[in-house]
Amino acid sequence: MSTNKGEIDNEYLELELLMEGIYRKYGFDFRDYSSVHLKRRLDHRLAISGLKNFTQILHRIIYDEEFFKSILLDLSINVTEMFRDPPFYKEVRKEIVPYLHTYPFVKIWHAGCSAGQEVYSTAILLEEEGLLPRMQIYATDFNEMILDKAKNGIYPVENIKSYTENYQKAGGKASFADYYTAQYESVIIKQRLKDNILFSFHNLVTDGVFGEMNVIFCRNVLIYFNKDLQNKVLRLFCDSLVPGGFLCLGTKETLKFSDVEDYFEIVSPREKIYRKKR
C-alpha cells in the first residue's frame, strides 16, 4: 500500500468541511484549531468507528447528536495533573502572591481547567499564603463532562504519589495529605478548597470577556489553536484583565510575536508569566 501527498490534501479538505458542518450544526467552532492535531484525533475515531472517511463522519454527526458528543470528547484533550511544572508554581508564589496581598478582593480565572487539578493546585497555594478567603476563582472549560469531574474533585488514588512529589517541588508548605480525604480507590479534595471556586461552561473561541480579572491562568490550551485563533483568544484575555493583572501561559506558549505582545511586560520568561501594563 502506498499513499501520496495528494490524498492527504484531499483528506484535509474533507476535514475542513467536517469542521464547518460541526460549527453550523452545533455551534462548536474548531475551524481554527491546529489541523494536524484535529486530523490525528479524528483518524483515531475513524479507525474505531468503522466509517471510511471524514465525509461519512460529517454525515453521521448531522443526524446523530450522540455521535457528535463522542467526537467532541475526542477533540478535547483533558490531560492534566496537580502542580504540573512545579517551578511554575514557585514563580507564582514569588511574583504574583505579593501583588495579591495588596488587594482586599481578588478575581482569578482558570480558562481550560480540565478536570480541576490545576485550579485546586492554585487554591492550595493561595490557602498556604493566607489568601484564599479573599479570592473568587472562576474555572471554565467547554467540555461539560470534564467540568462535572472538576466540580467533584475526585481523583484516582494512584495519581497521588506523583501529585505529592509535584507539590513538594512546587514549594508546598504543609503536607499534601492535608488537602484530600482518601476513600477506597479515590481521593476527594477537601470542601474548604472548593468554596471559592465557581465552575462554569465557557468556550474560548465563541464566548466573550470575563471582566476585571486580576490573574488569568490558561495553560496548555493555546497550543491546540492556530496562530489566528491564538491571537483572538489572547486579545480576549487582555481585555479581561485589570491593568497590572497577570497572565500565565503553559511553558511552551508565548506572547512573543502575538498581537498583544506590546500590552504586556514579561515577568518570568521561563515560566511564561506576563503582566498587563498599567
Ligand X SMILES: C[S@@+](CC[C@H](N)C(=O)[O-])C[C@H]1O[C@@H](n2cnc3c(N)ncnc32)[C@H](O)[C@@H]1O
Give contact residues for ligand X (rule: CB under 6 A).
Answer: 76-80, 84, 112, 114, 118, 141-143, 146, 203-205, 219-221, 250
47 part of the interface to other proteins, by CB under 8 A: no
Q: Which of 14, 34, 136, 242 binds other proteins (CB under 8 A)?
A: 34
Left (φ > 0), alpha (ψ -120 to 50) or beta: where does 15 sit?
A: alpha
Q: Report in angstroms how near the CB of residue 260 gets to ligand X at its nearest.
A: 18
Do 157 and 182 meet the contact criterion of CB atoms below 8 Å apart?
Answer: yes
Tell me which of ligand X, other proteins, none is bound by residue 203, counting a contact when its beta carbon lies within the kind-specific cut-off of 5 to 8 angstroms. Answer: ligand X
Three-state SS string over the chain comes to CCCCHHHHHHHHHHHHHHHHHHHHHHCCCCCCECHHHHHHHHHHHHHHHCCCCHHHHHHHHHHCHHHHHHHHHHHCCCCCCCCCCHHHHHHHHHHHHHHHCCCCCEEEEEECCCCCHHHHHHHHHHHHCCCHHHEEEEEEECCHHHHHHHHHCEEEHHHHHHHHHHHHHCCCCCCHHHHEEEECCEEEECHHHHCCEEEEECCCCCCCCCCCEEEEEECCCHHHECHHHHHHHHHHHHHHEEEEEEEEECCCCCCCCCCCHHHEEEEECCCCEEEECC
Give 172 or 250: the residue with its C-beta nearer to ligand X: 250
Q: Does 223 bind other proteins (CB under 8 A)?
A: yes
- Give 30 or 176: the residue with its C-beta nearer to ligand X: 30
- Closer to other proteins by CB, 155 or 180: give it: 155
Closest to 221 in 3D by CA, of 195, 250, 194, 193: 250
Measured from the CB atom, is 85 or 127 closer to other proteins?
Answer: 85
Pick 40 or 101: Cβ nearer other proteins: 40
Q: Which of 24, 59, 227, 277 binds other proteins (CB under 8 A)?
A: 227
Residue 2 interacts with which of other proteins, ligand X, none, CB < 5 to 8 Å by class: other proteins
| Binding flags for other proteins, 79-108, as an x/- string (CB under 8 A) | x-----------------------------
* CA 263 to each of CA 22, 107, 221, 276: distance values in angstroms, whole numbers, following the listed order: 34, 20, 21, 6
Nearer to ligand X, 11 or 118 (CB): 118
Q: Give the range of 189-197, 201-209, 217-225, 259-267 binding other proteins by CB under 8 A.
A: 217-225
In the complex with ligand X, which residue's Cβ is closer, 28 or 176?
28
- Is residue 220 near other proteins by the rule CB under 8 A? yes
Which entry of other proteins, ligand X, none binds 37, CB below 5 to 8 A by partner kind?
other proteins
Which residues of the shown chain bind other proteins in the complex (CB under 8 A)?
A: 1-5, 8-9, 12, 34-37, 39-40, 77, 79, 220, 222-224, 226-227, 230, 250-254
